Amino acid sequence: MNQPQLAHTLAEMLPEMAQPQPGTTFANAQLVVLNEALARELGLDPEWLRSHDGVQWLAGSQGGHAMAYSGHQFGQFVPLLGDGRATLLGNLPTTGDQGGYEIQLKGSGLTGFSRPGSDGAGAIGPMLREYLVSEFMHAVGIPTTRSLAVLSTGQHVIRRQGGVPGGIVVRVAKSHLRIGSVQYAATQSTELVEKVIRAAGFDSPVALLQHTLDSQLALVAKWMRIGFVHGVMNTDNAALSGETIDYGPCAFTETYDPDAVFSSIDAQGRYRFGHQPSIAVWNVARLAEALLGVMDQDTAQSILGQAQQRWDAAWNAEVPNPEELAAAEDLFEFNGIVFGPRNGMLERAIVEAERNSNLEPFLELARATQDPFNPDAGPEWMKAPEGAFPFRTFCGT
């Protein structure tokens, strides 16, 4: 197989928001884990991806684009964020006018949007976390970005725990446009807002706003049914496609605990488990504000006024018996999930890979959680609930 030929649909539709990124070469890059099933779904050859040229391609040798966006981070608006450590390689030209799935690298180096003092790199631990949790979410039917591969860069990066191996996750998504993309466009011109709407696949701002409200609430209902706590629901982490994106400080609560918070950066509990529906609506309200230059305010308010009704419908569709869910001793077991990424075991597997270069615990957990309803997919000890214990997650990318 020759090198896959990617289109650059998003960058061509939104050149005002796309900054070209040169190719990067990591002489000692190695493939840590490859999602062969996803590769085949995308029409890619796993054998070629494992070759030297394939590994360099996955590490970004061909370059791509970093995309601009804004965002409300913990309620505070930041006019320019953008891909500070990510490069959009392009999209597979396979489906429809908008092109096929987009492929993005996270942790591949500095971009023009990198924050002051950032190295633009990723640590291997958070990349392994995103790979495993996103593929588990896909396996249990929750809309999500996917993970094609994780690579080690052969370099070390400095994080809170000292020097750790550098890593890249190769992310696959329907689209990487976010609420923050529309917010950025609104700081520039109404013409750019209209272009983002079209690039997202919608023919009007009304259609975009209604879809985003419905898809975000449906997504959060699916999260909460299995105990997922996203941890950093900023508007730049709310995908217009309705997919879960950015797994930095995520975790799972085994019981239905509205006050469950795991993220070390969420000191006030803004993104706690039970507050996620309200935050989703708050984020969509920020989208509505960004669209006011191209749509009527009364129409926007009318759509937002449906939020409670839409949430009730989404929640009832996911959880017909909420009292039983609230009383469940283990949300994975309640949903028939035999193998899930329980906080402690996932953390131990990541630490073992990060500190001791021992991938076997991670790979064993990944195999089981990608087949989560199959009782034979993993060892017996991996099925047991862990119970409540102090646990904190760190973005750490």
Q: Is 312 annotated as catalytic?
A: no
> Rounded to an integer, what distance in angstroms lies between the CA atom of residue 167 and that of residue 30?
9
Rg (CA), the chain: 20
CB crowding 359-382: b at 16 or more within 10 Å, else e? bebbbbbbebbbbbeeeebbeeeb
Of 83, 214, 236, 246, the catalytic one is: 236
Tokens at residue 310, please? 């839409």
The CA-CA-CA angle for residues 242, 248, 251, to 5°, reads: 85
CB-based contacts of 122: which residues, under 8 Å, 6+ apart? 85, 106, 107, 108, 157, 166, 167, 168, 169, 397
Of 42, 216, 113, 159, the closest CA to residue 395 belongs to 159
CB-based contacts of 86: which residues, under 8 Å, 6+ apart? 66, 104, 105, 106, 107, 108, 111
Of 189, 165, 71, the closest CA to residue 354 belongs to 165
> Rounded to an integer, what distance in angstroms lies between the CA atom of residue 94 and that of residue 316?
36
Task: Report the chain's terminal Cα–Cα distance, integer Å.
Answer: 32
Q: Known catalytic residues?
A: 236
